[in-house]
């Protein structure tokens, strides 16, 4: 056997089958660095390509799961306190504000600790502007205390407690603009704040973009039952799900307390009459008159399942009953943010589903903090997608001015 040194940024091997793998030379992971293999050249090259492809983003995914899980712990503590109080609004210094900032600070902290070899670029919803004002000092104190308690209870990090300034810097890591080049984390620290306030569904949604493409995503859904929400959900049902997906590897679900993961897949029902659909819980978040029109054209008999934000994507990815469609058509003037979709998108697609806009195009996350398209979002399985798009076009053509 010949000794083979492999040192290239793009590898292609066509024997016995075709493989293609490309690495940006500026970000070649350690496992892909040149090294010597005492194997026949064709075997050595193929082994390197397959190994690199299967391991790509593994460390990042592990860090993302850790970050989202810890942030979910923080949010659970705040929501528990909220439900024991009389606070029911997102006013200044409200529990949801504390949880939003605290969740973002935790995610930033964990990603920087776990992935210290490269600078953190985070596209996120919050910034520290209000917390730096005199009126925000009490809120900042509460956030700092909560973040430090969460980190200490986890026990994975032995660093000194974070100062208020450390927390502010962590929050402001989320100011990145993203874009089509490089790696950018995308975070919604609490996706579904109104659900959070009601004691209902919300998610910590974290994804990684690499050159504008979503390559991994994690959804931590503290209140989502581990069992299908299509059945009768009771208070006795265990709740707390962690969904995660990596490009080319499928989607998995486990409990937030760390049970063994199971691979999930969207439902394969192809008859729209047997399906029901997700839509936003809050009427202001979507055009429910339009989605109702589409449902009628599809012959859907079941009423819509209304659930907050990206928790829908987790339920969709595991094929909960006949719940196949999530259709969101924002009202005019609203611009979709990438953190509202990035994690959920890959969780559904890696589970065999499809996520597109109302024109049938894949979502484009390479344009910065906003989605380039603003024509509505559809998520379903591959069998139902053609009939849904037809119903969408017909509904839009009937009353284009009213939508």
- Residue whose token pair is 């104190």: 141
Q: What is the pLDDT of residues 182-192, one digit of tens each?
A: 999 999 999 99
**pLDDT: which is higher, 47 or 173:** 173
Interval 194-217 mean pLDDT: 94
Q: Is 380 assigned a catalytic role?
A: no
Count H helices and E strands in the chain, helices first.
10, 16
Cα separation, 223 vs 240, whole angstroms: 5
Pair 6, 39: CB distance under 8 Å = no
Q: Which of 97, 144, 193, 349 is catalytic?
A: 193
pLDDT bracket for residue 14 (50, 70, 90): very low
Kindly tell me if the per-residue pLDDT of 304 is higher than 90: no
Residue 122: burial class (beta carbons within 10 Å; 0-12, 13-18, 19+)? buried
Q: Which of the residue ranges 41-45, 100-104, 236-240, 373-377 has the most confident prediction, judged by mean pLDDT?
A: 100-104
Q: Is 100 assigned a catalytic role?
A: yes
Cα separation, 326 vs 306, whole angstroms: 10
Pair 304, 277: CB distance under 8 Å = yes
Kindly tell me if the per-residue pLDDT of 21 is higher than 80: no
3-state secondary structure of 335: coil
Closest by alpha carbon to 57, among 218, 257, 176, 258?
A: 218
Lowest mean pLDDT segment, chosen from 64-68, 91-95, 142-146, 248-252: 91-95
Lowest mean pLDDT segment, chosen from 38-47, 194-203, 258-267, 323-332: 38-47
Closest by alpha carbon to 191, among 366, 351, 71, 363?
A: 71
Lowest mean pLDDT segment, chosen from 33-47, 58-72, 298-312: 33-47
- Average confidence score pLDDT of the chain: 82
pLDDT bracket for residue 109 (50, 70, 90): very high
Question: Residue 96: its pLDDT value, please?
Answer: 86
Please state the pTM of the whole predicted model.
0.83
- Residue whose token pair is 């975070």: 187
pLDDT bracket for residue 23 (50, 70, 90): very low
Cα separation, 150 vs 99, whole angstroms: 12
Pair 319, 272: CB distance under 8 Å = no
198 membership: H or E segment, kind and range:
helix 193-198
Cα separation, 78 vs 387, whole angstroms: 43
């Amino acid at each position: 056997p010949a000794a083979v040194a492999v040192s290239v940024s793009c590898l292609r091997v066509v024997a016995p089958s075709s493989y293609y793998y490309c690495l940006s030379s500026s970000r070649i992971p350690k496992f892909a660095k040149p090294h010597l293999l005492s194997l026949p050249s064709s075997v050595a090259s193929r082994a390197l390509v397959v190994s690199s492809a299967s391991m790509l983003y593994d460390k990042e995914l592990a860090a993302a799961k850790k970050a989202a899980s810890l942030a979910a712990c923080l949010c659970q503590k705040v929501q528990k306190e909220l439900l024991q109080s009389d606070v029911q609004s997102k006013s200044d210094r409200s529990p949801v504000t504390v949880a939003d900032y605290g969740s973002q600070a935790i995610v930033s902290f964990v990603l920087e600790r776990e992935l210290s070899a490269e600078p953190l670029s985070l596209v996120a919803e919050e910034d520290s502007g209000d917390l730096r004002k005199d009126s925000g000092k009490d809120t900042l104190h509460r956030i700092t205390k909560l973040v430090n308690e969460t980190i200490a209870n986890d026990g994975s990090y032995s660093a000194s407690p974070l100062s208020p300034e450390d927390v502010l810097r962590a929050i402001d890591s989320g100011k990145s603009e993203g874009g089509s080049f490089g790696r950018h984390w995308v975070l919604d620290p609490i996706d579904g704040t109104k659900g959070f306030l009601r004691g209902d569904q919300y998610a910590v949604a974290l994804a990684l973009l690499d050159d504008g493409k979503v390559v991994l995503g994690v959804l931590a859904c503290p209140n989502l039952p581990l069992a299908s929400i299509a059945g009768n959900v009771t208070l006795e049902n265990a709740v707390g799900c962690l969904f995660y997906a990596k490009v080319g590897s499928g989607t998995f679900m486990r409990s937030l307390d760390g049970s063994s993961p199971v691979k999930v897949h969207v439902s394969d029902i192809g008859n729209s009459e047997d399906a029901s659909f997700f839509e936003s819980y809050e009427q202001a978040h979507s055009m429910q008159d339009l989605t109702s029109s589409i449902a009628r054209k599809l012959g859907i008999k079941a009423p819509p399942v209304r659930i907050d934000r990206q928790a829908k994507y987790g339920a969709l990815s595991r094929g909960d009953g006949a719940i196949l469609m999530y259709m969101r058509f924002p009202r005019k003037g609203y611009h979709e943010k990438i953190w509202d979709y990035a994690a959920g998108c890959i969780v559904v697609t890696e589970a065999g589903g499809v996520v597109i806009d109302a024109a049938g195009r894949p979502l484009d996350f390479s344009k910065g903090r906003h989605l380039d398209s603003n024509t509505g979002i559809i998520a379903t399985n591959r069998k139902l997608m053609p009939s849904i798009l037809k119903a969408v076009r017909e509904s839009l053509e009937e009353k284009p001015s009213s939508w």
